[in-house]
Amino acid sequence: MTDRSSRADGARVLADLHALRAIGAYKTGVHKPTFSEPHIQSLQWLVQRLPEAGLAGEIDGIGNILGTSTKPGPKLLAGSHLESQNHAGWLDGPLGVVYALEAARVINNDPDIDGTVEVASWCDEEGHFGHFLGSRSYVGAVTDSEIDAARDRNNDRGMREALRDAGLAGRARVHHERGRHVGYLESHIEQGETLESNGLKVGVVTSIVGVWQYRITFTGEQNHAGTTRMAIRKDAGLALARFCVAIDERFPAACGPRTVWTTGRITLDPGAPSIIPGAAEMLFQIRDDDVNVIARLEELLRTMAAEVEELGRCTVAVERIRTGAPALMDASFQQAIEEASAACAGGKSLRMPSGAGHDAQVLATVMPAGMLFVPSIGGISHHWTENTADADIVTGAEVFVEACRRLLAR
């Protein structure tokens, strides 16, 4: 049984989250793109909080913060991110950072607990400049030339320039120290409605889905939209539209129970009202936590593309441009979160995969990792109305601190 002193202080957690919400506020959410002024201010806010948890840390050369302790004993790494999507919600990222900070404050200051929680804020999880640049830098998977080439997708500012403007140019990047941590724990809002609709308080993440992305290009024949008879057209745009519909008709028979697929962008070439598109391109994505399922769907995609070619009007090229492996969360971490939920949340937890990507999938490549979700109201995220009930935020913090305590005690 945990005594009162080693539990999360819910009021302190909410106050911290509101302090971060006030930096770069946008309606009821925030607007904190990576390396924007409010993002840097939020990082500085965290650096100033670290001593409360017996930690020391600075913003490193890629915008990460790692608050470290000199206390002996086992160390657990915990964190998330502080930048946001554009005009987005206040909890996506900061919730996990504040939970980590709270766990560090409670545990590191408790003389009866052997071990410490170290706090991390990973830069650019939201992908303004790249793909998990901060956490990938920490695990040693980002080269200097990748940073040289990275540009802000919002305004094309180079990452080097952004680092210079933030006063971070020339700083060293902090790297993972083998064997330092027993593992990594991250909390996040669910960003879906599974927990809320089932009256649950905690999601115990089993895996983070893999994302495979494709560029599918249709090539037909560009021609005059007024003088070309329907029967002889080679309309690449029409072929693409039919293909999208066919995917939705045929994937359900081959997919897994939680597979999702999305056509995120369609471009017609030349894209003019009086011209039959000679070429059309779609960006298509499949997500699942089972690689075999994704591979099976890719096979189907290629079969369907061949069928379109057999009709003789268009050629189709299916090119895989991203192959993200699913990340399995550590079994003992899942168990610790479940036990903590039994102790602090009436056992209202559910094991579930994460359909969204998170830094934990990167950390999982170098150490055992786990993730804990709290409910999202209406399942809404990446929007300024994103929210979680205060009571659920507090319960989640209690479960998180308890899970950290249990993981350190193993």
Q: Which x/- pattern, by CB under 5 A, does the window 46-85 give for Zn ion? A: ----------------------------------------
Give whichever of 97 and 308 is closer to Zn ion, judged by the CB atom: 97
- The single residue among 60, 92, 102, 281 that binds Zn ion, judged by CB under 5 A, is 92
Give whichever of 189 and 316 is closer to Zn ion, judged by the CB atom: 189
Stretch that binds Zn ion, among 4-12, 93-101, 237-245, 246-254 (CB under 5 A): 93-101
In sign, the C-alpha dihedral spanning 196, 197, 198, 203 is: negative
Chain residue whose CB lies nearest Zn ion: 92
Q: How far apart are CA 16 and CA 37, in angstroms?
A: 19
The secondary structure element, H or E, covering residue 331 is helix 331-344
Q: In the bound complex, what is the minimum distance in angstroms from residue 300's beta carbon to Zn ion?
A: 31
In sign, the C-alpha dihedral spanning 119, 121, 125, 129 is: negative
Give whichever of 152 and 359 is closer to Zn ion, judged by the CB atom: 359
Q: In the bound complex, what is the minimum distance in angstroms from residue 378's beta carbon to Zn ion?
A: 17
Ranges of beta strands (E only) in 72-156 are 75-80, 116-121
* DSSP 3-state percent helix, strand, coil across the chain (nearest 5): 40, 25, 40
Q: Give which of 106, 108, 100 is closest to 81, Cα–Cα.
A: 100
Residue 289 binds Zn ion, judged by CB under 5 A: no
Q: Which residues contact 142 (CB under 8 A, 6 or more apart)?
A: 62, 133, 136, 173
Give whichever of 296 and 383 is closer to Zn ion, judged by the CB atom: 383
Q: In the bound complex, what is the minimum distance in angstroms from residue 81's beta carbon to Zn ion?
A: 6
Give whichever of 277 and 357 is closer to Zn ion, judged by the CB atom: 357
Using only C-alpha atoms, what is the Rg of the chain? Answer: 24
- The single residue among 33, 38, 89, 93 that binds Zn ion, judged by CB under 5 A, is 93
How many chain residues bind Zn ion (CB under 5 A)? 2
Q: In the bound complex, what is the minimum distance in angstroms from residue 8's beta carbon to Zn ion?
A: 20
| Backbone phi and psi for residue 279, each to the nearest 5 degrees, phi listed first | -145, 155
Binding site for Zn ion (CB under 5 A): 92-93
